[in-house]
Amino acid sequence: MRVKTIRREKGAYIRLPEDLRKLDEVELFQLREGYYLLSAPLGEKPAEKPVAGAAGGLAAAGAKQTLAGGLTPFETRVLGKLAGIKFGRRVPFCISREFSRQEREALLSLEKKGAVTFIKSKKYPSGVYNIQNEFYPHPQKKEAEQETGVGELEKQLFRDGYVVVQDARTAQSLSDMLQKQKGAVTGVKGFDGKYYVVTRAHMERVRRVLARWRGEHVDPKALAAKFGIHPDGVKAVLKILSEGGEYMEKGDVFLKVD
C-alpha cells in the first residue's frame, strides 16, 4: 500500500498501519537501496496479520505472489544452490563469481516473490542474500541426507559444525559412528522431531555470539543475519541449550532462563 509522508520542521513521518500503532516500537530493515521492510519487533505479533511497510511491502506481498503462483523449476534449482552456500558467502562478490547471468536474474525474481531477501548490516555492508524460512528447501535437504549416507553427514558435521537429521534411523547410525568422538560432539532431539548434532567448537562459537546478543529473546534468523552464522546452526545450539535448561523455546524464538 502507498502512504503519504507528513513533513514537519524536525523531520518527516508516516502513518503506521492500524495493527502497528499499538506497539511501543517497530523494526525497520533495509532490504536493498530504496527498499525497506517495516514490521513488529522480531518475536512479537501485532494485533492482526503483520503488514510489511515501506516501498511496496516487498516481503509480505512477494510471499503472497509466490504462494499463489509458485516458483519455476529453474528458480527452485537456484534456491537450492543458494541454500548450499554458507551464509557468510552469500554476498554479491561471491554470488557474481559462482552464479551465471541467468541464475542472478532468477535471484532477482526470487526477491520479488519474497523467497529471498537482500539484507544490509554493519557486518555485511555490501549486503547478503537470506532465504525466507518458509521457502528454505528442507525437503531437498532431507533427500540429500538419504542419498549421501551417514558418512557424508559426518563430513558435513565437522565441516560446518552442525547437522540436522530428519529421521531416527539415520540419527542412530550417525550416533554409532560418532561413539569414539563423544567428547567432541553433542546432540538432542527437538520437539519438532528432528535431531540436532553440533561439535563442541561450534557450540562455543555460538555461545560467544549469544553473550553479545542484546534483547529479551533470541531469534535464530536475526542473530544469524547479524553474525554470519547459518540459522540452522544457531537453532541447533539453542535446542541443545534449551534441553540443558539455559533457554526456553517459545515458538520461533528462545528465552534465556535466569
The string of pLDDT tens digits covering residues 185-229 is 999 988 888 899 999 999 999 999 999 888 788 999 998 888 888
Count the domains in the chain: 2
55 confidence band (pLDDT: 50, 70, 90): very low
Give the Cα separation of 229 and 226 in Å (integer): 8
Specify the pLDDT at position 4. 72
128 shares a domain with 44: yes
Question: Looking at the structure, do residues 125 and 53 belong to the same domain, yes or no?
Answer: yes
**Own/partner pairs for 168-177, CB < 8 Å, 24+ apart?**
168/195, 170/145, 170/146, 171/195, 171/197, 174/150, 177/150, 177/151
Same domain for 129 and 33, yes or no, is: yes
User: Would the pLDDT of 56 be above 90?
Assistant: no
Domain end marker among 68, 103, 133 = 133
User: Both 144 and 243 in a single domain?
Assistant: yes
| Domain shared by 129 and 13, yes or no | yes
Average pLDDT rounded to a whole number, residues 232-246: 91
Stronger pLDDT, 21 or 169, i.e. the higher one: 169
Same domain, 174 and 75: no
Measured from the Cβ of residue 166, the count of other Cβ atoms closer than 10 Å reads: 17
Confidence grade of residue 42 (pLDDT, cut at 50, 70, 90): low
Q: Are residues 39 and 95 in the same domain?
A: yes
pLDDT reported for residue 67: 38
What is the residue range of 223's domain? Answer: 138-256
Q: In terms of domains, do 125 and 171 share one? A: no
Contacts of 239 (CB under 8 A, 6+ apart): 188, 190, 196, 249
- In the prediction, which pLDDT does 31 show? 61
What is the model's pTM?
A: 0.44
Q: What is the pLDDT of the chain when averaged over all its residues? A: 78
pLDDT at 138 over 70: no
